[in-house]
Amino acid sequence: MKKNKSSKNWIINQHRDEYFKQSRSLGYRSRAAFKLLELNKKFNFLKKNSKVLDLGAAPGGWSQVASNYCTKGKVMSVDLKQMTELKNVKFLMMDFRVNESKKAIENFFGDKISIILSDMAANTTGNKDLDCIRTNELCMEALKFSLNVLDNNGVIISKLFNGQDFEVVKKFALSNFKKVRFFKPKSSKDHSKETYIHCCGLKTL
């Protein structure tokens, strides 16, 4: 009974959420689309010719935004979960960390990538501290991956939680990127510890 009540409350809260309502009316697949719109308004990184890789993309809200901006570029979405096809977006159902995935990404873009997006979050366990650690590990994985595929002036945007391992991720980013900034969109829920890290320009030897 408790589980059913909790699920019902979640549905009610979603429908009361203004960003959820807007996402439905504008045709976005998730309210998360507004987070990327805010991030782009803040940092102005999505360009017409950008080559964009969206990690953990399902259900596709961020990929929708990216494809709307990058009309002359390329957009690839990668996720372990199935995602309904989007116009002008290549979908790869695979773990981005495996070699087969890396080869497919390289073949699709044919060159270095302009932008990597990651709104990945670990599956919740009920233990908030553990969930925070696991999500920040995904952020670190995305940052490490980006070092080999981004062009020298490339950008990576990734979800990050304020909590354990935050400083570890921040230190790694500062060691490898020329500019590192943090921003929490208004469309993030008030009680959420999430923020987003924006890294720009690879440091080269």
Does 159 qualify as catalytic in the annotation? yes
Nearest residue to 72 (alpha-carbon basis) of 88, 55, 91, 54: 88
- Which two three-digit tokens encode residue 202? 């690879």
pTM, whole model, 2 decimals?
A: 0.87
Class of domain 30-202: alpha beta
What does the pLDDT look like over 74-120, one tens digit per residue?
Answer: 999 999 999 999 999 999 999 999 999 999 999 999 999 999 999 99
How many of the other CB atoms lie within 10 Å of CB of 124? 11
What does the pLDDT look like over 20-29, one tens digit per residue?
Answer: 566 565 656 6
Residue among 35, 51, 74, 159 flagged as catalytic: 159
